[in-house]
Amino acid sequence: MNGQSTPTGVESSAAPQRSPAFLRHYLGQLISFYHPRCLDPRGGYFQFFRRDGSVFEPQMRHLVSSARIAVNYAFAYRQSGSPEHRAAIAHGIDYLRAAHRNARTGGYAWLLRDGEVVDATNHCYGLAFVMLAYAKAAQSGFHEARTYVDETWEILEARFWEPRHGLYADEASADWTLSPYRGQNANMHLCEAFIAAFEATGVSRFLDRAALLADHMVNRQAALCGGQVWEHYDTDWQVDWLYNKGDRSNIFRPWGLQPGHQIEWAKLLLLLERHDPRPWRANRAGELFRTAVELAWDRRNEGLIYGYDENGGAYDRDKYSWVQAEAMAAAALLAQRSRETYYVDWYDRIAAYSWRVFVDPQYGCWHRIRTPDNAPCDEEGCFSGLTDYHTMSACTDIIAALAPV
């Protein structure tokens, strides 16, 4: 990539996004967009930013964003070694413990305003990011976070784990009454979080559980939908074909098949394989990636669309930044693993599109959403805040994939 060493999978090219040095420099720019402006001296992180970095809704705190920004700072600290970035990890972890966490019930409030609970619902998806934040903090040298990892495991085990199905339930009230909804998204991000927990602690139960979730979702559950992972299920983990159909407002539970989630599963299978090589994982990752990009790529305007139906027909043609970012990471990992030009070509195509359409040339952050013809969207209506978590995660994964052998 830099002309001096040969990366695994993606060979040297003039494409700047193939250069680890370029990506490290860009990651530094992206971190600088958030740091230090996201640090609220009263506690936690500001989460709602316009593209120029100005803050709106300064009182609101969403659990997912609170955890994701802590993870972002762990990515930053890994690259920079900066004491400021390490202190910012602690700043976020302290807020998760003091504000979001209910010490009496062990739950985590979904939404806060001015430090007061607005929505006390317990979401397994939220706990997945709490687990990820604690694991990344432990990796960054915070020894107390190791205890928080175990604590979160116990909460998940007691409140959401369903051993009969080998998967996690999704939502519970503040007093832990489960809803009938079951979803793949929480299980996918728990797989990610457990891989991180294993890397932070070396404890095998985390890797074993991540592997079990991956097997059940990309094999057993995907068999119910022609080999792809459907989003929504009933209490017996049978496909719910109608849940949220026609409602495009729920960003955590969209209807249909999400190409971004097929691609994320592909990436997770390859991350699992690093620790526990199984040939089927790489093969299945390739299947999921190829199906998703072939169905989701907009051949007229470029970019990967947000969703398609069970027959492969476009359902939501908008372009989301996180889908492009995850596709870049998965393509890089697949190229590293297989050395096939197919994945190199897809990496180049998606990276070129993303830098042209999504990366703000002035401020460095990514636009969240583009219309089908790549025009800007109103991004202030999204209640979960702006974090660029997927972008930072993808850049970190790609840099590792491009490292010389």
Query: What residues are labeled active site?
Result: 261, 390
Instruction: Give the DSSP per-residue string, 53-92.
Output: S-B--TTEEEHHHHHHHHHHHHHHHHHH--HHHHHHHHHH
Q: Bridge-partner residues for 337, per DSSP?
A: none
CA dist 384 → 46, 48, 89, 132, 371 (Å): 11, 8, 20, 17, 19
Burial-class residue 349 by CB neighbours within 10 Å (0-12, 13-18, 19+): middle
Rounded to whole angstroms, how far apart are CA atoms 365 and 28? 11
Structure tokens at 225: 């939908």
CA dist 85 → 24, 166, 360 (Å): 16, 37, 23
Contact present, 87 and 35 (Cβ < 8 Å): no
CA dihedral 104, 105, 109, 112 (to 10 degrees): -20
Q: In b/e form, how buried is each residue of 255-277, taking b as 16+ CB within 10 angstroms?
A: bbbbbbbbbbbbbbbbbbbeeee
- Given the DSSP bridges, would you call strands 122-123 and 171-172 parallel, antiparallel or unpaired? antiparallel
**Nearest Cα to Cα of residue 335 among 347, 323, 352:** 347
**Nearest Cα to Cα of residue 38 among 100, 78, 108, 95:** 95
- What sections of 96-169 are H helices per DSSP? 124-139, 143-159
Contact present, 320 and 368 (Cβ < 8 Å): yes
Which of helix, strand or coil describes residue 7? strand
Rounded to whole angstroms, how far apart are CA atoms 225 and 4? 46
